[in-house]
A = this chain, B = another copy of it.
Amino acid sequence: MRNEEIPNPAVYRLSFYLRQLESFHRGDRHTISSKQLGEALGYSDAQVRKDLAYFGQFGHPGIGYRVDELIHQLKKILGTDKISHVLLVGAGNLGRALLAYKGFVHKGFKIVAIFDADATKVGRKIGDLLVRSDQDIASVVAELQIRVAMLAVPVQAAQAVADQLLAVGIKGILNFAPIALNVPGDVVVQSVDLALQLEQLSFRMTLGDSSPGDESSL
């Protein structure tokens, strides 16, 4: 699994391949060609082959790719072949929606603790989790050995909470606040800015469009 020569867009496409393969799998497709997989997602067959080849030789000449085999490999590459524990900071509307979201579970992510700064929320039960004070982050992270956090707090609080998370050893943050977080180089931030996505949609609707397929998020 060599690195540093893998194009960033290819890493995103990996996730799309996996998603599409699982759809094919549900449809009882056993084998798939790069052409078919590409067509379903709006990529060329060469693109698909090259992307996959960055990570190994998964195909069978004359046959294509075995769906279940490739799913397994992609999960391994992406690190979602085993269960990861995740913590969530922010028990507002978004935080609660994230907690209830089934998609994370399917990918092997389990939210094991939820925190909020608001004393009126602390102690409340959401799903089967108790909301804890953000003062407890350090002890919980240490105890449960958590490396990943989701940040669903108001933008004004985001950087401060991120600093807290860094201080206790969190190495990956899925950030929902509309701000460029400042973090050291060994920490990864993946950001989701909902309003920004809508703004992008707006632009692409006003003559801005040109993309050949349908999907975005590249």
Query: Quick check: A204 and B188 within 8 Å, CB to CB?
Result: yes
What band does the interface of chain A fall in when counting residues whose beta carbon is under 8 Å from B? 35 or more
Q: How many monomers of this protein are in the complex? A: 2
Residues of B within 8 A of A203 (CB): 11, 14, 77-79
A15 at the interface (CB under 8 A from B): yes
A62 at the interface (CB under 8 A from B): no
Residues of B within 8 A of A107 (CB): 195, 198-199
Known contacts A15-B196, A192-B192, A205 near B147 by CB under 8 Å: yes
Query: Quick check: A8 and B218 within 8 Å, CB to CB?
Result: yes
A168 at the interface (CB under 8 A from B): no
Query: Quick check: A103 and B194 within 8 Å, CB to CB?
Result: yes
Query: Quick check: B147 and A180 within 8 Å, CB to CB?
Result: no
Q: A7-29 vs B: 1/0 string, CB under 8 Å?
A: 01001101110111001000000
How near does chain B come to A132, taking the closest CB pair, in angstroms?
20
